[in-house]
Every structure is written in C-alpha cells, then in structure tokens.
Amino acid sequence: MSTQTAESKRITTKTVLAMKQRGEKIAMLTAYDYSTARLLDESGVDVILVGDSVANVVQGLETTVPVTLDEMIYHTKIVRRGVKRAMLVADMPFMSYQTDIKEAVRNCGRMLKESGAEAVKMEGGKRIVPLIEQLTDIGIPVMGHLGLTPQSIYKFGTYEVRARESAEAKKLLADAEALDRAGVFALVLEKIPAALAAKVSRSVSAAVIGIGAGPGCDGQVLVTNDMLGMNEQFHPRFVRKYADLSATMRGAFQTYIAEVKTSKFPSKKESY
C-alpha cells in the first residue's frame, strides 16, 4: 500500500467533521498503553483518547486532579506506537492550561511534539476561548469538554448529572457555541440530559461526542476499562459492559496459580 493510500485512510479533524456532516456516528474509546491502543486501532475505532481518567483506572487515584503533564505525555507516547489509523487525542491535565496563556500554549505544544498526539482535549467553557483561538491559529486542534468536568470535582462536590436546571443548561449551550466559534473540531459532553446534548449537537458545527449524554450526539465515548468490565466497583447507568474482563482475568489468574502450585505448569511441551 502506498503512503498516500495509507495516509488517506487516517482519521483526521477533517474526517471527523465530515462524519458529522454526513450523519455517520463517531466511535471514540480511551487507551493508556500500547497493547490496548493496537487492538482498538485494528478494531477500527475512529478516535483514541488518552484520557486523564488514567488517574482512576491505571493509577488508582480517586480524582483526575493529581495527574501530571509528564505522565500524560508518557502514556500518549506509548499509545502512539499502537495507533496507525485512528485519530489520537490527549487530555491536558489539571493546571497545565488554566494559568498563564503562554504557559498553556507551550504545554499543548509539548504534548504534540513529545507524545505524537494529533489534538489536545481540555475542560472548560468561555474562559478558555482565548486559549483555543491561539491554539487553533498555530495549528493545534482542540477538543472541548463540557458538562460533568471531572477536573472541577472539588468545585461541584459530586459526579451527578449536570445541567438539569435551565440556567445551567443555557450556560452550557452558550459555552458550547463559544467553543465552536473559537474553533474546536469536537466537543465531549459528559453526563448531561439527552435532550440538551441533542440540542447542542444540532447547534454547533463541531462534532459532539457524548458520554452519558444520550443518543442524539454525533458520536460516543466510553472509558475502555469500564466498557470491558474491568472495574467491578463502577457501574453508572451510561456504561454498557461489552465484556466481563474482571471475571475472565480472575479466572485465568486463579487457574495459573493452581497449576503452578500443583506442578501442572509448565509441561514438557512448554519447556526446552
């Protein structure tokens, strides 16, 4: 296959926007390591997100607040090696883009240069519009994130559904429109009422990717570890379990332990 053909099949910001325009749903999942990224890419997922949910599902932390920029760059770099076709997006962690705009631009540039991500994702509404304008102007594509924004957990105090009240719903729509005008190519809406998410999807030209935001979005995202059933403690209504890897992994580990203890493993065939 020529490079041209291979490249023309890669998912880019242009592809994502074209998918929205022709009504083709966009499938996005998270990855934090090479092996999972390779399986996702080979399965045909459109967008792979190295989410700061790495804090919860890989690092065992309660919130996404402590993850550092260096850790996000490390995980994105190893995911990059497994991705040939999907678009690769990396989350900017808390406090890597909220202070000085110059520092934020430099940090987003570091993410692209050092990790191989093709776009950055960041949480926030109108407040981050000047940053998004600068980033898109210098060629760094941005995916926004509104609704439940886990980096603000200490402000909101809960992971409950956001924007149920009309004032918050109005603000969310205005924020989405402001991010759209600033140039985001896509926008994650997390845990908001389905009717509001559908309205936002119709109102903006960016591709709207929902998580707990109903079927009216242009695409869907789930945390891969959750949809694989790897976290038995976490089962909110919006996570559909496509596998029960906890049970599969436990079973495999227990069988291995038993076989080692009873000298059934390794066999002669497995020895040199």
Active site residues: 190
- CB of residue 225 to ligand KIV, shortest distance in Å: 10
Which CB, 180 or 226, lies closer to ligand KIV? Answer: 226
Q: Does 30 bind ligand KIV (CB under 6 A)?
A: yes
93, with CB counted inside 10 A (0-12, 13-18, 19+), is buried
Other CB atoms closer than 10 Å to residue 238's CB: what's the count? 16
Eight-state DSSP code of residue 208: E
Q: Does 211 bind ligand KIV (CB under 6 A)?
A: yes
Which CB, 31 or 204, lies closer to ligand KIV? Answer: 31
CA distances from 116 to 46, 99, 112, 209 (A): 17, 24, 5, 22
Q: Does 221 bind ligand KIV (CB under 6 A)?
A: yes
CB 121 within 8 A of CB 149: no
Eight-state DSSP code of residue 146: E
Site for ligand KIV in 173-192 (CB under 6 A): 188
Backbone angles phi, psi at 160, to 5 degrees: -70, 165
Region from 47-55, 78-86, 159-167, 263-271 binding ligand KIV, contact rule CB under 6 A: 47-55
1, with CB counted inside 10 A (0-12, 13-18, 19+), is exposed
Region from 6-14, 17-25, 44-52, 95-103 binding ligand KIV, contact rule CB under 6 A: 44-52
- CA dist., res. 93 & res. 70, Å (int): 10
Q: Does 52 bind ligand KIV (CB under 6 A)?
A: yes
- Interface characters, 66-95, with ligand KIV (x: CB under 6 A): -------------------------x----
- CB of residue 263 to ligand KIV, shortest distance in Å: 43
- CA dist., res. 66 & res. 69, Å (int): 10
CB 237 within 8 A of CB 221: no
Q: By beta-carbon distance, which residue lies closest to ligand KIV?
A: 51
Which CB, 52 or 180, lies closer to ligand KIV? Answer: 52
- The angle at the Cα of 214, spanning 209 to 220, to the nearest 5 degrees, equals 30
Helix or strand run (H / E) with residue 65: none
Which CB, 35 or 261, lies closer to ligand KIV? Answer: 35
CA 145 to chain centre: 10
Which CB, 67 or 266, lies closer to ligand KIV? Answer: 67
Region from 2-10, 35-43, 51-59, 70-78 binding ligand KIV, contact rule CB under 6 A: 51-59
Residue with tokens 């992994």: 249
Region from 45-53, 65-73, 101-109, 255-263 binding ligand KIV, contact rule CB under 6 A: 45-53
Q: Where do contacts with ligand KIV occur on this chain (CB under 6 A)?
A: 30, 49, 51-53, 91, 145, 188, 211, 221, 223
